[in-house]
Amino acid sequence: MSTTSNILKKLDGMLIINGKLVAAERSDEKIKNPATGELVGMVGVSTAKEVDAAVNAARGAFLKWGKSLPKNRTRYLHRIGELIEEDSESLAEILTMEQGKPLKEAHGEILKLAETFHFYAEEAVRINGETIPNDSLHFDSIVIREPIGVVAAITPWNYPAELVGWKLCAALAAGCTIVVKPAEITPFTALAIGWKCTQAALPPGVVNVVTGSGSEVGQALVENKLIDKIAFTGSSEVGLRIQKSATSIKKMSLELGGNCPLIVTANANIDDAVKGAIRRSFRNCGQICIAINRIYVDHTKYNEFITKLASLTKSLVVANGLNNPEADLGAIASEDSLNKTKKHLEDALIKGARLVAGGSRPVGTELQNGRYFLPTVLVDCNHEMDIMKEETFGPIVGVSKFSELSKALKMANDTPYGLAAYVFSKNIDEIKYLSSNLDYGNVAVNNVDAGIINAPYGGRKQSGIGYEHGREGMLEYTNFKHIRTKFTSLDGG
């Protein structure tokens, strides 16, 4: 097992190209711990030459990997999953140091990453084809699936391990090779995953990691003609830019932003709804694409709901996630998230919302150098307020009341996004009505965990195209091939 500081030292200023850790020509970019402002390490700013070297390595490796036996790929994926489990504590510390989330959540994320390796290890041997009836008995049509080729994975900073893992594992299982470009502020988790791949003696070039800014390194991958597919998770704005700026035809999956509603009906268990709202609004400081941004509560339950929500919110512990095991919320990873949280708060207050919890930085000298904000609840919100219309991606939620369920549904669907929606109700007719009519890729009822690794996960409208998770997530990395063969009959028919 490796210690955290040893791993960080090993990865400092490095890229992963063609199976090796190589020192980036330029590595003057500082990664700072959002909880303390302390330096975590220096990271490479990949040059065009280094990006090309990574893509060429992936291209070269694809020739063999794409034709390798699926059971061979299964073995590698299981092995990498095991190596990640063995070092899960150190990897979790690295994740918390660069991202800020509480260590127990980071550890959970690393274990889910390992689970993703094992899940896709099993799926690799289940890429089946079909035989298709023809209009003559002398023809056979078979449809097989082949790997797409070289994938560029471009990922954000909120789940630095899982969002790399979903792409990398599914791509490798399908027989693709990959170049990963993680978010500029959380590169070490991705580098650590790439390093685990080298430790598993994965053939050189199958997994490469380049670091640097999205506008340069990410864009260079988008414009590279040797890349066959872009697997992107990030904002809708950058997703659209990527779609517009590709210079050759490429497959794309775009997992984009959300603005997710929760509807609490008159027949909901209010304590469960409050607990769900807390978990999905404030976990990871609200920096979750499927975070609950806005809540609609039946008018008969409104006062009970907001009183309990405010009280439970005030009991949450905001602390340095690395050294305080009690932390419910750690530091906020990105300056942009903090600024948008403050902006949405100010906008809602001007337009008449009431603040019932949070609304400021936590007090205390211990947290003074970090990027912190108290979990914040605004009530009496309406759709004039940005908080009810835009993704905040911070620790704040807006609550509004309704008197007719059809109006709550209309407000919930009144958004360009379509990633996830939540419902709390104990009435089967309400559940049927809402789950059928919410225009979202994922609907969670009486729970707030909308995604599981076994089921397809994706957004609609401006929340993206394509799916991750499940068998479907792997098949996104395959092309169909139809092979139609004519036979000469030997039986005179």
Q: Using CB atoms within 10 A of its CB, is residue 77 exposed (0-12), middle (13-18) or buried (19+)?
A: buried
Shorter beta-carbon distance to ligand NAP: residue 77 or 220: 220
Rounded-to-integer distance, Cα 250 and Cα 246, Å: 8
Residues 42-61 that bind ligand NAP (CB under 6 A): none
Q: Give the nearest distance from C-beta 431 to ligand NAP in angstroms.
A: 24
> Catalytic residue among 169, 289, 391, 476, which?
289
> Catalytic residue among 93, 105, 184, 255, which?
255
Of 8, 295, 419, 431, the one binding ligand NAP (CB under 6 A) is: 419
Of 395, 464, 470, 473, the one binding ligand NAP (CB under 6 A) is: 464
Q: Give the nearest distance from C-beta 388 to ligand NAP in angstroms.
A: 16
Pairing of strands 442-445, 150-154: unpaired
Shorter beta-carbon distance to ligand NAP: residue 113 or 154: 154
Q: Indicate if 289 belongs to the active site.
A: yes
User: 455, 112, 398: which is closest to 262 by C-alpha?
Assistant: 398
Ranges of beta strands (E only) in 338-451 are: 354-357, 376-379, 396-402, 417-418, 420-424, 442-445
Residue with tokens 């299982």: 173
Rounded-to-integer distance, Cα 356 and Cα 374, Å: 12
Contact 320, 330 (CB under 8 A): yes
Of 13, 156, 165, 286, the one binding ligand NAP (CB under 6 A) is: 156
Asked if 191 interacts with ligand NAP (CB under 6 A), we say: no
Burial 158-180 (b: 16+ CB within 10 A, else e): bbbbbbbbbbbbbbbbbbbbbbb
Q: In what order do the strands lie in the sheet with 139-147?
A: 130-132, 139-147, 478-486
Shorter beta-carbon distance to ligand NAP: residue 11 or 153: 153
Shorter beta-carbon distance to ligand NAP: residue 123 or 468: 468
Of 33, 99, 155, 478, the one binding ligand NAP (CB under 6 A) is: 155
Query: Which residue is at the shortest CB distance from ligand NAP?
Result: 214
| Choices 12-20, 107-115, 232-240, 479-487 (CB under 6 A): range interacting with ligand NAP | 232-240
Rounded-to-integer distance, Cα 353 and Cα 357, Å: 12
Asked if 31 interacts with ligand NAP (CB under 6 A), we say: no
User: Beta-carbon neighbour count of residue 217 at 10 Å?
Assistant: 24
Rounded-to-integer distance, Cα 33 and Cα 370, Å: 8
Asked if 184 interacts with ligand NAP (CB under 6 A), we say: yes
Q: Give the nearest distance from C-beta 310 to ligand NAP in angstroms.
A: 26
Q: Give the nearest distance from C-beta 457 to ligand NAP in angstroms.
A: 7
Residues 201-220 that bind ligand NAP (CB under 6 A): 213-215, 218-219
- Position 284, amino acid: N
Tokens of 312: 């439970």
Q: Give the nearest distance from C-beta 210 to ligand NAP in angstroms.
A: 11
Tokens of 409: 């549904």
Residues 422-461 that bind ligand NAP (CB under 6 A): 459
User: Beta-carbon neighbour count of residue 146 at 10 Å?
Assistant: 16
Enumerate binding residues for ligand NAP (CB under 6 A). Answer: 154-158, 163, 181, 183-184, 213-215, 218-219, 222, 233-235, 238, 241-242, 255-258, 289, 391, 393, 419, 459, 464
- Give the residue numbers marked as catalytic: 255, 289
